[in-house]
Structure 1
Amino acid sequence: MKSSQYILIILFLFSTSIYAQGRFDKVEIKTTQLSEHTYMLEGAGGNIGVSVGEDGVFIIDDQFAPLSEKILTAIKALTDKPLKYLVNTHHHGDHTGGNENMAEAGATIIAHDNVKKRLQDKQRDGSYRPEEALPVITFNDKLSITINDESIAVFHVANAHTDGDAILYFTESNVLHTGDTYFNGRYPYIDLDSGGSVNGYIEAAKRGLMVIDEDTKIIPGHGKVSNKEEYKDFLTMLETIRDKVQKAIDNGKTEDEVKTDSSITKTYDDLGYGTGYINSEKMRLTFYKSLKEDKS
């Protein structure tokens, strides 16, 4: 490689790093209390769940590395107890970016087997995650963690948002954290390249609904604190679009025809579901690709 090319690459990486850091400078961490000792933290990236008590601090997801100091400051405002455990609901960087920092702060990282495998893979920039960012404890199907006077049920939902999704239920606080198997009031991102699927995503929502009641507070992967009624509406949206896209496939419609057919998602487009990261066209395309793959 010529020296001039090398210098340009270094300058690009440096400027990218400065931009990445800068875009988090104005992010504020908002804390919402859900029960006596459980909270939701919002910042940039996936919503964080926190349990505090005499045993220490239990965290679900940790957003991006540049936000770790702000997140830890928000937690310290709730308790002076040490960090004990961190569960990653899946491998995406807006939920695991702070892993190394949280491990350094004392947290033992827990995740599904597939999360560790994917975190060990080469990152988009060609680098690898350091050992400190990887889960120390992994599970295959389900796990029970007892901390701060309650049991937390952790269970894997297969091939939903990814192939390593975990949903967590606080049995005494009656709080559910869905990770990215639920986006409140918006179309979800279903990562087909990481083992996600439409039908698996629908089954994940059904399973989450099985363990809650009308009083449950729900921490979605993205969006505001939710409840059972909103969660059911989300499932109805998924099933409605799934059925319409499946009908189009059965009628011989092509990928481009489904992608451009706004009538498939119009009901939910009008409700603002397509204003998030995934717009209506991307949603139809994802459903088509996933259902077509299932059929083949």
Structure 2
Amino acid sequence: MKILKTLFLFFSPVLLSHAQENQDVVIKTQQLSDNVYMLTGQGGNIGLSIGYDGVFMIDDQFARLTPKILDAIRALSDKPIQYLVNTHWHGDHTGGNDNIAKQGAKIIAHDNVYQRLSTSTPKTPKEALPVITFNDKLHIHINGEDVLVFHVDNAHTDGDVLLYFPESNVLHTGDTFFNKLYPYIDLDSGGSVNGYIDAVKKALIVVDDDTKIIPGHGVLGTKKEYQFFLSMLEDLKSKVLAEIALGKTEDEVAVNSDITKTYDDLGYSWAFINSEKIRRTFYKSLKE
């Protein structure tokens, strides 16, 4: 009995913290066109297409937020969720896969997303794995418009896809765009600085000044903001390469705040990727 009481005292603050965290998260809905929406909450931004065919969903944040996300979706449509596309394998974009699959949705992702999820530790439930995968690009026809899904190599990870709705003129970038934030480039999952820059360049080809851009993280973006994001990436690459050419070590680059000062002043550092971490990431990727 004493042991149970001790365990209760130890875990109750943790459980209370998680409950409070769930309670504090609000899922906000933003309409971008007649049938395309953006949901924000905690984790990767969600894209939705709502129409007579049903609900088409892009990413699903964390499992514990699924009830709130479903409430937000049901406020828009009572039709079933037909498809869910994962833009990559990270848990803040795929954590709700199991729950959404139980709603009847078929999960779609790049081949490498299936590979990483199916071999991850802890083990991913079978129901949370994609049932449709592809290698390069995919066309989906739903709710009266086409959805162009295309893979970009070794960018944020090795399994990133972007989705473009030509009729609505909406682009979902996944984590190849962190609007007004330093990006997370997951080198351990096949990401790279050069691949990330190439991905942004590829995405910019399909957009115009009126395109609404759903970033993986951050507020809804514009072409101008995506272009500035690209210029930041290229600027950091140039500066870090110059340091590498001078024979500087990773630690020397990591403490050189001049490299990122312009963007530090704009508030681009955030909880997960601060200026030191982005300098280290660029060094490690470019040094290879």
Deviation at 1:16, TM superposition (A): 5.4
Q: Does 1:173 align with 2:168?
A: yes
Q: Which residue of 2 aligns with 1:153?
A: 148
Pairing of 1:282-293 with structure 2 (within 5 A)? 282-293=277-288
Q: Where in structure 2 are there 5+ consecutive unaligned residues?
A: none
Counterparts of 1:165 and 1:9 in 2: how far apart (Å)? 41
Deviation at 1:122, TM superposition (A): 3.0
Identity %: 65
Say which of 86, 111, 135 aligns to 2:84. 86
Aligned-partner SS, 2:174: strand
Q: Per the alignment, do residues 103 and 15 of structure 1 end up closer, same or farther by CA in structure 2, a change over 3 Å counting?
A: farther
Q: Does 1:58 align with 2:53?
A: no
Q: Deviations over 1:91-132 (max 9, x none)?
A: 000000000000001110000000011111232xxx211110
Q: Per the alignment, do residues 21 and 106 of structure 1 end up closer, same or farther by CA in structure 2, a change over 3 Å counting?
A: farther
The 4+ residue runs of structure 1 with deviation greater than 6 A are 7-15
Amino acid in the other structure paired with 1:262: S
Decide whether the 8 Å contact of 1:49 with 1:61 is kept in 2. yes
Pairing of 1:105-254 with structure 2 (within 5 A)? 105-123=103-121, 127-254=122-249
Aligned-partner SS, 2:47: strand
Q: Does 1:42 align with 2:40?
A: yes
Counterparts of 2:24 and 2:213 in 1: how far apart (Å)? 27
Aligned residues: 286
Decide whether the 8 Å contact of 1:186 with 1:276 is kept in 2. no
Aligned-partner SS, 2:30: strand
Deviation at 1:80, TM superposition (A): 1.2
TM norm structure 2: 0.95
Deviation at 1:275, TM superposition (A): 3.2
Counterparts of 2:155 and 2:100 in 1: how far apart (Å)? 26
Q: Deviations over 1:217-273 (max 9, x none)?
A: 000000000100000000000000000000110111111110000000111111111
Please provide the CA RMSD for this pair: 2.0
Q: Which residue of 2 aligns with 1:273?
A: 268
Counterparts of 1:120 and 1:8 in 2: how far apart (Å)? 37
Deviation at 1:171, TM superposition (A): 1.3
Decide whether the 8 Å contact of 1:187 with 1:276 is kept in 2. no
Say which of 101, 104, 111 aligns to 1:103. 101
Counterparts of 2:50 and 2:87 in 1: how far apart (Å)? 19
Q: Where in structure 1 are there 5+ consecutive unaligned residues?
A: none
Q: Which residue of 2 aligns with 1:31?
A: 29
Amino acid in the other structure paired with 1:119: L
